[in-house]
Every structure is written in C-alpha cells, then in structure tokens.
C-alpha cells in the first residue's frame, strides 16, 4: 500500500491503438453483444428521427404529396445497394487486414472508386430525371434532380461508414447515422415552412447526406502510411453488389410499384405502412452491422462460430415484438403517428402486422446471409437477388389491392428464409453426426 505523501506515477495513457487492441481481446460473442447494444441504441434514435421526418412531411403535406416525397426518397434507398456494397467490402477488408498501412490503403482506394461511381450515378439520374418523374407520377422532375445531387455524395459516404464499421467504431458510426437523420428532419421542417413543399423535403435529404460525409472525421488508423498492393478482391466486390442489390430491391421496390399502380392517396398510405417495416429492418440491420466485422476478423474456432446465436436471438425478439404490437392496435398506431388523413379500412387492419412479419422473416434470413458472407464468398446473395426479381414480378401481376402486395412479399420472404437456412441445418447435422461417431 502507498504511504501518504508518496508520489504515485501517472497511469499510462491508452491511445487509439491500445483501445482497438483491447476491444479485439474480448471474446467475439461479447463484442457482438456490446456492439449490437451500441448500434441498437443508435438505430433507435435514427428510427425516431426518421419517423419524425416522415411524420412531419406527412402531416404538413398530406397523403398525396407524402407519396411523392416517399417515392423520390426511395430512389436514394434503391441506390443504397451500391453505397452499402462499398461499406460492406470496406468493413470486411479492414477487419481482416492485420496491418494499419494495409487498412489505410484499402480505405483510400475504395474512397477514390466510390467517388467515381457516385458522380456517374448522379449524372445518370440527372439525364433521366424527366423519364423517372413520369414513371413515378411525380409532379416535377426537380424532385429527381434534387435527389441526384445527394446521390453523388451518398456512395462515398458508404465507404466512410465502412471504415468506421471495420475498425469497430460503432459509437462513431451511430453518431454519423444520427447526424444524417437529425439534419434531414430539421431541414425538411424549415424548407416546407418556407414554402418549398415536396421539393424542400427532398432537398433536406441531400443536405443531410452532405453533412454526414464530413462528420465525424476519418479514424486515425486509416490515415497512416499506406502500402502498395493491398486491395479488395473482385469476388468480394461482386458478392457485396449482388447482396445489396437484392436487399435494396426487396426493401424498396414495393413502394415504387405501388406508386405506379395505385392512386396517390393509396400510395401515401402504403408508404406509411412500409415505413413501419423499415423501422424494424433498421433495428435488425444494426445488429448485423455489429456482427459482420467481428465475424470477419474471427478465426474458425467453435467459440467464434457461436457468434451467430446472439444476433439471431436479438433479431427474432425484435421481430416478434413488432408483429404483436402492430397486430394489436394497427389503425390507432397509424393514425396517431401520421394523422387523421391516414385512415385504414377494416379489411386493411392486418397490413401492418403482415408487413412486419415479412420484414422480420427477411431480417432473420439477412443475419444468416451476412454471417456466411463474413466468413467466405457466399452464393446466397444470388438466391436473394432471384427472390427480389420474384417480388417485382409478383407485385407486377398480383396487385388488385394493397393486401395482395404485402402477402406476395411475405410468401417470398418465407421461401428465401427456408433456402438460406438449409446450409446451416446441413452443417449442424454433419457436426452432430461427427460427434456421435467420435
């Protein structure tokens, strides 16, 4: 014990390298649970502000104009397949790379490529703005033009988020997502109050993406001296693009098709219903985001293979809570959130819980697919892409009412879950047979 008056040496200060090393020394399942909690808390705030944005736009503009805003905003979600592809590849390669110079080199290379892709996509949408506005029954191509400006920055934003995710900076990643939604909400309210209407709601999205790109700063370990030769493999890039292309189509194409086939008021009502499903998916995806880099950087030991159990259990619990809650008070929840203009007839009361069931089923399938992708080049992304095409065709031919649109998605999500679960059941049975033989 130290005597009174004796000088005690200062405790060594831990730098960011020590923090990363400490985090990686924890068991994989512990890191996933901790990361999931951080991301879930962050996604809770993100969902709240996203809800605030949609509620504000819906209440201030009404169902028809809200349908226009939701359709234009969905264009950003469709392009997020590429954004998330850069994020996933960046996170995976950074997590697997043992050297800081290797991590920094991969990050810099992907950032350059993402800027090129972002500018190309933004330019392409600008050139086709009139055609896109006509197909979606939008009042003006300016909605598409405003969204195109945000898309050019949205792609490199994915690479930056991949850098935060790959270095397990889940807190910074959460704050980045929160910043985007806060700016979007405040900007929409200000612009609409200034008289810009739907244009203002969409302009707020582009402004929020711009600010999210600059804050927070790039992690310091991604700014060290870079080495030649470190890069992401072509196979991993293709895997990410295929996976997120299917994911984005499944999560968003129904809104665009409903906007095309149904009246503006019906499309606005469906956009509100689909928004509830997006909240559930965002919460589930936050769990996957915490699992992915940790699983990618883990070895093949039995302990690390068990990291799949934690995210599966969390996603299943979240899905059940949403389905039960929305099934109990569907009309009350929708009208209380979006206002009296969003009224559901009695035959539509099951839409909210059915949409949540489809989203929950899909979220469980995504956990399985993401886990497999974190370990190797997987083929399940192609299966998902095929199912996403089936969703498009299904709604294209079966859309007499909104209930049919939701049921088509639920049936196809169950089929997807069964298919992607089969390899895990086979692996479990094989392991069980080996243990019995031993």
The per-residue pLDDT for range 335-354, each reduced to its tens digit, is 777 766 777 766 677 888 89
Q: Are 278 and 251 in contact (CB under 8 A)?
A: yes
The per-residue pLDDT for range 91-122, each reduced to its tens digit, is 888 888 878 888 888 899 899 999 999 999 99
Q: For the residues of 89-136, what is the DSSP string, one character each?
A: HHHHHHHH--SHHHHHHHHHHHHHHHHHHHHHHHHHHHHTHHHHHHHT
Q: Where are the domains of the chain?
A: 27-423
Q: What percent of the chain has pLDDT over 90?
A: 37
- Per-residue confidence (pLDDT) for residue 300, from 0 to 100: 56
The per-residue pLDDT for range 383-412, each reduced to its tens digit, is 999 999 999 999 999 999 999 999 999 999
Q: How many CA atoms lie within 13 A of 235 on its CB side?
A: 6
The per-residue pLDDT for range 152-197, each reduced to its tens digit, is 999 999 999 999 988 888 889 989 999 999 999 999 999 999 999 9
| Residue 17, Cβ density class (10 Å: 0-12 exposed, 13-18 middle, ≥19 buried) | exposed
The per-residue pLDDT for range 215-236, each reduced to its tens digit, is 888 888 887 655 555 555 667 7
Q: Is the pLDDT confidence value at 303 over 60? A: no
Give, in order, the Cα–Cα distances in Å from 325 to each of 251, 276, 329, 330: 21, 12, 7, 8
- Of 136, 416, 374, the closest CA to residue 250 belongs to 416
């Amino acid at each position: 014990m130290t005597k009174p008056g004796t000088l005690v040496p200062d405790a060594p200060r831990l730098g960011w390298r020590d923090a990363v090393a400490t985090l990686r020394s924890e068991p994989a399942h512990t890191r996933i649970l901790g990361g999931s909690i951080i991301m879930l808390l962050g996604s809770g705030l993100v969902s709240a502000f996203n809800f605030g944005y949609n509620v504000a736009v819906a209440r201030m503009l009404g169902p028809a104009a809200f349908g226009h805003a939701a359709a234009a905003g969905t264009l950003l979600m469709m392009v997020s397949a590429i954004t998330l592809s850069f994020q996933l590849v960046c996170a995976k390669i950074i997590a697997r790379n043992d050297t800081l110079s290797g991590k920094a080199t991969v990050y810099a290379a992907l950032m350059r490529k993402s800027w090129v892709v972002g500018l190309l996509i933004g330019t392409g949408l600008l050139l086709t703005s009139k055609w896109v506005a006509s197909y979606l029954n939008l009042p003006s191509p300016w909605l598409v033009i405003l969204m195109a400006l945000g898309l050019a920055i949205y792609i490199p934003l994915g690479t930056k988020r991949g850098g935060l995710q790959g270095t397990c900076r889940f807190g910074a990643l959460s704050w980045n997502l929160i910043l985007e939604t806060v700016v979007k909400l405040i900007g929409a309210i200000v612009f609409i109050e200034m008289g810009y209407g739907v244009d203002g709601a969409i302009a707020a999205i582009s402004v929020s993406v711009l600010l999210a790109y600059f804050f927070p700063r790039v992690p310091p370990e991604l700014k060290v001296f870079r080495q030649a030769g470190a890069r992401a493999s072509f196979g991993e890039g293709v895997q990410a693009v295929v996976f997120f292309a299917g994911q984005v189509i499944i999560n968003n194409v129904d809104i665009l098709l409903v906007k095309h086939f149904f009246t503006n008021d019906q499309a606005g009502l469906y956009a509100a219903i689909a928004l509830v499903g997006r909240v559930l998916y965002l919460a589930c995806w936050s769990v996957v985001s915490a699992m992915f880099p940790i699983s990618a950087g883990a070895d093949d030991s039995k302990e690390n293979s068990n990291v799949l159990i934690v995210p599966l259990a969390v996603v299943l619990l979240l899905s059940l809570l949403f389905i039960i809650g929305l099934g109990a008070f569907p009309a009350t929840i929708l009208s209380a959130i979006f206002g009296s203009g969003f009224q559901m007839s009695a035959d539509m009361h099951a839409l909210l819980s059915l949409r949540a069931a489809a989203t929950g089923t899909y979220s469980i399938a995504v956990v399985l697919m993401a886990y497999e992708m974190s370990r190797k080049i997987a083929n399940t992304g192609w299966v998902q892409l095929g199912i996403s095409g089936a969703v498009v065709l299904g709604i294209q031919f079966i859309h007499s009412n909104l209930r049919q649109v939701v049921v088509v998605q639920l049936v196809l999500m169950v089929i997807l879950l069964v298919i992607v679960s089969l390899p895990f059941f086979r692996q479990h049975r094989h392991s069980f047979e080996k243990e019995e033989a031993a």
